[in-house]
Amino acid sequence: MSNLHGKTALVTGSSRGIGRAVAMRLAADGASVIVHYGSNEQAAAKTVADIEAAGGKAFAVRAALGTPDGVDTLFAGLAAGPFGERLDILVNNAGGGGMGGSIAQVEPEEFDRLFAVNVAAPFFILQHALPLLNDGGRIVNISSCAPRLAAPSQVAYAMSKGAIDVLGKTLAVELGPRGITVNTVAPGATETDSTAAMFAIPEASAMMASMTALGRSGRPADIADVVAFLASDDARWITANIIDASGGTFLSPATGQ
């Protein structure tokens, strides 16, 4: 494990799933972690309790991202917390809004919701965070392998995640002089509580596994370990990259893998 002692990390959407795994891993590596959540206070409290039980430091902040005052609420909570306002690591993990459907199916309200949560929220979180981020800091944005797959049933979702890919590369150039690295992690289908119903169907679970070169679906720890590496000093010379952490999803059109 890397040494993140003395570092402060903000992980959005970290009460459950991939975000929880990232928060737990960064805390295990020594970082003090701000656990952001949107609505599930019980899950956030458990994440904080589990981090503290393992000897780490964490506190939770509630903010409904994708709403007009969500980002302001998030940073007001950060300022009122025990770690101060300075940040060393920012992980933009919160997202959602569904897959959207095909271009003929997507309603304007659904499109706006996808982009509010997946694009506008991380953009303005970054805008607020940059003055607080210490030089030499780390930014990791969680995207998806969807932008490279050209799946018609996910067109709006893939568009929103493609915007995050562009944001990461562009911001890396702007922040390079400050020694801040900006990278993007692109998971594939991952077994979390939000996807549990799908993976509970044996046929669906087998299909998801068959899409990957490694023959299984992703787990939150698979993604968290990549994020932890990018947050560490070992990744100091890596920036503006999109790291595909999908187990090699849909690499071969001939085999479906």
CATH topology of domain 8-240: Rossmann fold (3.40.50)
Q: How far apart (Å, rounded) are the C-alpha atoms in residues 99 and 187?
A: 15
Those residues whose C-beta lies under 8 Å from the C-beta of residue 59, and which sit 6 or more positions away, are: 34, 35, 48, 81, 82, 83
CA distances from 15 to 39, 73, 121, 189, 219 (A): 9, 17, 17, 19, 16
Sign of CA dihedral 136, 22, 216, 203: negative
Please spell the DSSP secondary structure of 105-146, one letter per residue.
T--HHHHHHHHIIIIIHHHHHHHHHGGGEEEEEEEEEE--SG
- Tokens 């503290």 correspond to 52
> Is 157 assigned a catalytic role?
yes
**pLDDT at res. 255:** 46
Which pLDDT tens digit goes with each residue over 170-224?
999 999 999 999 999 999 989 878 776 777 788 888 988 998 999 999 999 999 9
Q: What is the largest CA-CA distance in the chain?
A: 54
**pLDDT at res. 15:** 97
**pLDDT at res. 192:** 79
- Which is catalytic among the residues 25, 157, 182, 191? 157
**pLDDT at res. 257:** 46
- Residue numbers in the chain where pLDDT is lower than 50: 255-257
Both tokens of 113, joined, read 């919701």
**pLDDT at res. 194:** 75
**pLDDT at res. 191:** 86
The answer to whether residues 54 and 69 touch, using CB atoms and an 8 Å cutoff, is no
Rounded (10°) CA dihedral 41, 196, 11, 154 = -120
pTM for this prediction: 0.94
